[in-house]
Amino acid sequence: MSVGRPAAAAALVALAELALCGPGTSGALPEGPAGAAAYTATVPGSSVTFEMAPVPADGTAPGFWIGRREVTWAEYDVFRADAQVKVQRADEPPPGADAITRPTPPYADEAFGFGKQGMPALSITHHAAHEYARWLARRTGQAYRLPTEKEWERACQKGGDARAVTEGRAWVRDNAAEKPHPVGAKPANALGVFDMVGNVAEWVDTGSSALYPQVAKGGSWMDEASASGCAARRVSDLSWNERDPQDPQSIWWQTDATFVGFRVVRSFEAK
Amino acid sequence: MSDEQRTRRDFMQSGAVAGGALLAASLRAPAVHAAGSDEIRIGLVGCGGRGRGAAADAVKSSPGVRVVAIGDAFADRVSETRERLKELGAAGAVPDERAFVGLDAYQKVIATPDVNYVILATPPGFRPTHLEAAVAAGKNVFTEKPVAVDGPGIRSVLATYEAAKAKGLGIGAGTQRRHELGYVEALKRVQDGGIGEIHAARAYWNQGSLWNKPRQSSWSDLEWQMRNWLYFTWLSGDHIVEQHVHNLDVINWAMGGHPVRATGMGGRQSRISPEYGHGWDHFAIDYEYANGTHMMSMCRQIPDCANRVAETIVGTKGVCELESGAKRYELVGGSAYKFTGDFTNPYVQEHTDLIASIRAGKPYNELKQVAESTLTAIMGRVSAYTGKALTWEEALASTEAIVPTALAFGPMPMPPVARPGQVT
């Protein structure tokens, strides 16, 4: 039985009904197993939409949906503005494991002069990305989460993104003009997924809840082509938030990591 | 480039003999500082997030630095800070008898005989008094910005600057862009004529809103205001003074002086509820320098609007674009330049530089330049609040003292929100 089919069907539109095929995608996107087609969903409490594309099961590795685009500021800011969620300050004791919290206000310009329109949420901590996914899951009733590194690499490989740089699907140091770019501006990969390689590196779930170190995949607009690809990984450390002059430093915002963002996944098999 | 990096690079470039000597010197240094007469012993006045951050930055900046006394108006702040400082190990171990609480805690920190480096990180309204006390006691100072909130405060600080100079004391200011290498290199080129003559400048600090601490029933008016100091002009100077002073300071740095006149406007559109005190949430100021150059300045703290924290200097031959967040420091046109050097954390570097100057016996004193940038911001605020144009002389000579002289926890009326054209 295919489970995990979105219950709130009204919020979902079959991808085939929309002119969603981005530049470089030809014809219909590959479908997952029955009931696991690509879909569009709405960020709860807003009119902001996002799209999920299936990554089929592979042997014993179960299938999942992956965000077609890196999570944008528009999506992330809905979470930030959810007044029903407690704001968690860095100097407060952490809440219970079930409690979802949202970010403190950012200091200065959280978009670092790169703007927000169409842009990926960036320089946020791994914790922030993780809480966004948990919030999205709680609000939608769908099990959104960060991908594991293996899942991320599988989506990258299955999409043919080992060739993303040579085939012109990635913003890396040589072509990015020293800045991140709006999501989905380059052609999608074979799974219909944009910017897996380059633009912003993407946080993955390491199983650790530590603020640092964590892992970000794929390389970024700041990285050389040789440091971007399906195997590329950056391991975070305190230097990513070096210029936060407060003690304790923010658990949400980083001052020196404009190269990192994230995308979400959701298992076909709901847990 | 950090000293460690510099040493390593020098080692690689200069061969084994010279490099070996350097290495030996650097290994000896910490022991000398730890036990020697040039140990830096911090007294921290103001135990908020920035005060703790500044103390930690100072400890990280140089060998032979430790925190020996702390003080804050509030007991919870002092106990939190003692806990946090433990992460620094022995350099952050503050004994009970040197952890002071109360409105007079600053006096006790400054009077602690061991202290030879006072960090001032309370809300800015207290700064002139704290600066005066620290210099009177013969202590070196690292002072957070801004250094005052009104004209009388600035006059006090300028007198303290002279007193510190006469005593040969070091004073560093928390306008850390002055110690951010990209700024240093770009501004050096601007001053060397890299963009020709400066004929316009722009300064921005546009961001969302900041934190607010909900009022507790046990808090007096004064405690509520101090814990939400951002929103009370006598404590913060308003956000143009408290925050935008950074950008104004950069333009003053480039111009080699302060503006002579300001015409400002602004108000509050978003933060209109009582928890936001009487402060404004946006300002726009036209500043004029003595040579007729104008600076357009804007600052805003309203969520979900166009953000920008940056400075632009327009010359006859090119433009200098500076944006700390994105680490953008470049000259376009003219003598084109882009900073590509090693990045060092300016919040640490500002202590590295100050401590090095003290240890070299040539302490520098940044108090006048930060006082002038602070008055630049105050002049803009007063012009915007009143709706009147204001000259530098008028701002400096102002007798409007907005900081109460005698403070006690208890009732504390809040001034009305300023209304341009209705303020005399």
> What is the maximum alpha-carbon separation in chain B?
73
Find all residues with CB under 8 Å of A132, minimum gap 6, and list them: A71, A75, A76, A79, A121, A262, A264
The answer to whether A243 contacts B347, with C-beta atoms less than 8 Å apart, is yes
Q: For residue range B117-143, list pLDDT tens digits in order.
A: 999 999 999 999 999 999 999 999 999
Residues of chain A with pLDDT > 90, as a percent, come to: 83
Strand partners, B308: B206
Amino acid of residue B355:
I
| Residue in A with minimal Cα distance to B307 | A109
The runs of H, that is alpha helices, within A47-125 are 73-80
Burial B255-268 (b: 16+ CB within 10 A, else e): beebbbbbbbebeb
Cα(B271)–Cα(B215) distance, integer angstroms: 16
For residue B37, the model assigns a pLDDT of 76
Q: What is the CA radius of gyration of chain B?
A: 22
Report the run of H or E that residue B311 belongs to, with start and end: strand B308-315
Place of tokens 């010279």: B18
- Mutant choice from A173, A247, A250 vs B, greatest count of B C-beta within 10 A: A247
> What does the DSSP 8-state code read for residue A147?
P
Amino acid at B174: G
Contacts of B309 in chain A (CB under 8 A): 108-109, 113
Main-chain dihedrals φ then ψ at residue B286, nearest 5 degrees: -100, 115
Distance CA B124, CA B148 (A): 6
Exposure of B305 by Cβ count < 10 A (0-12 exposed, 13-18 middle, 19+ buried)? middle
Mean pLDDT on B43-47:
98
Tokens 């999920």, residue located: A52
Residue with tokens 């036990």: B35
Contact residues, chain A, for B298 at CB < 8 Å:
none
Q: What is the dihedral of CA A131, B325, B65, B43, to 10 degrees?
A: -80
pLDDT at A28: 52
Please check whether residue B275 touches A, CB under 8 A: no
Whether the pLDDT of residue A145 is over 50: the answer is yes
Pick A245's closest partner by Cβ from B303, B325, B347. Answer: B347
Nearest CA among B241, B343, B336 for reference residue B1:
B343
Q: Is B76 helix (H, G, I), strand (E, B) or coil?
A: helix
Q: CA-CA distance, B79 to B96, in Å (whole number)?
A: 10
Cβ contact, residue pair A247, B209, below 8 Å: no
Query: What is the dihedral angle through the alpha carbons of B325, B331, B337, B338, rounded to the nearest 10 degrees?
Result: 10
Q: Which residues in chain A touch residue B323, judged by CB atoms under 8 angstroms apart?
A: 112-113
Which pLDDT tens digit goes with each residue over A72-115?
999 999 999 999 999 999 988 888 888 999 999 999 999 999 99
pLDDT digits (tens, 9 = 90+) for B176-190: 999 999 999 999 999
pLDDT (tens digit, 9 = 90+) per residue, B205-241?
Answer: 999 999 999 999 999 999 999 999 999 999 999 999 9
Residue B49 confidence (pLDDT) above 50? yes
Query: Model confidence over A197-213: pLDDT tens digits?
Result: 999 999 999 999 999 99
In A, what residues contact B, Cβ < 8 A? 77, 89, 91, 104-114, 242-249, 255, 258
Within 10 Å of residue B216's Cβ, how many Cβ atoms? 9
- At B255-264, the pLDDT tens digits run 999 999 999 9
pLDDT tens digits, B246-292: 999 999 999 999 999 999 999 999 999 999 999 999 999 999 999 99
Average pLDDT of chain B?
Answer: 92
Q: Looking at the DSSP assignment, which residues form a beta bridge with residue B298?
A: B204, B284
- A-to-B residue pairs, Cβ atoms closer than 8 angstroms: 65
> CA A231, CA A164: separation in Å to the nearest integer?
12
Helix (H, G, I), strand (E, B), or coil: what is residue B61? helix
Among B50, B205, B207, the residue with its CB nearest the CB of A246 is: B50
What are A203's strand-pairing partners?
A216
B50 in contact with A at a CB cutoff of 8 Å?
Answer: yes
Burial (Cβ within 10 Å: 0-12, 13-18, ≥19) of residue A46: middle
Record the tokens describing residue B22, joined without a space: 């350097």
Residues of B in Cβ contact (< 8 Å) with A247: 49, 52-53, 55-56, 84
Q: Do A247 and B84 touch (CB under 8 A)?
A: yes
Could you tell me which residues are beta bridge partners of residue B266? B283
Q: Indicate the residue of B56, B303, B323 with minimum beta-carbon distance to A113.
A: B323
Question: Cα separation of B360 and B339, whole Å?
Answer: 28
pLDDT tens digit string along B289-323? 999 999 999 999 999 999 999 999 999 999 999 99
A176 CB burial (10 A radius; 0-12, 13-18, 19+): middle
Distance between CA atoms of residues B10 and B207, nearest Å = 42
Alpha-carbon gap, residue B224 to A141, rounded angstroms: 40
Residues of chain B with C-beta less than 8 angstroms from the C-beta of A77? 304
A83-98 burial, b for 16+ CB within 10 Å, e for fewer? eebeebbbeeeeeeee
- Beta carbons of B84 and A248 less than 8 Å apart: yes
The torsion angles phi and psi of B287, rounded to 5 degrees, stand at -105, 145
Return d(Cα B160, Cα A46) in angstroms, integer: 55
- pLDDT for res B343: 87
Residue B342: the pLDDT is 87
Contact B53 A258 (CB under 8 A): no
How far, in Å, CA of A49 to CA of B394, rounded?
55
CB atoms A108 and B205 under 8 Å: yes
pLDDT digits (tens, 9 = 90+) for B58-88: 999 999 999 999 999 999 999 999 999 999 9
Choose, out of A46, A109, A256, the residue to mutate when testing the contact with B (most B CBs < 10 Å): A109
Cβ neighbours of B80 in A, within 8 Å: 91
Reported as half-sphere exposure (CB side, CA atoms, 13 A), residue B305 has a value of 17
Q: What is the pLDDT of residues B368-422, one digit of tens each?
A: 999 999 999 999 999 999 999 999 999 999 999 999 988 999 999 999 999 999 9
What per-residue confidence (pLDDT) applies to B260? Answer: 98
Strand pairing class (A13-14; A39-42): antiparallel
How far, rounded to the nearest angstrom, does the alpha carbon of residue B216 sit from its chain's CA centroid?
A: 29
Terminal C-alpha separation, chain B: 51
Does pLDDT of B27 surpass 50?
no
How far apart are alpha carbons A123 and A202 in whole angstroms?
10
SS3 label, residue B41:
strand
- In chain B, which residues have their Cβ closer than 8 Å to the Cβ of A246? 49-50, 52-53
Residues of B in contact with A244 (CB under 8 A): 53
Q: Do A91 and B303 touch (CB under 8 A)?
A: no
How many Å apart are CA A196 and CA B50, to the nearest integer? Answer: 38
Confidence class for position A31, pLDDT limits 50, 70, 90: low
Say if CB A53 and CB A20 are below 8 A apart.
no
- In chain B, what residues touch A113 (CB-CB under 8 Å)? 308-310, 323, 325-326, 328
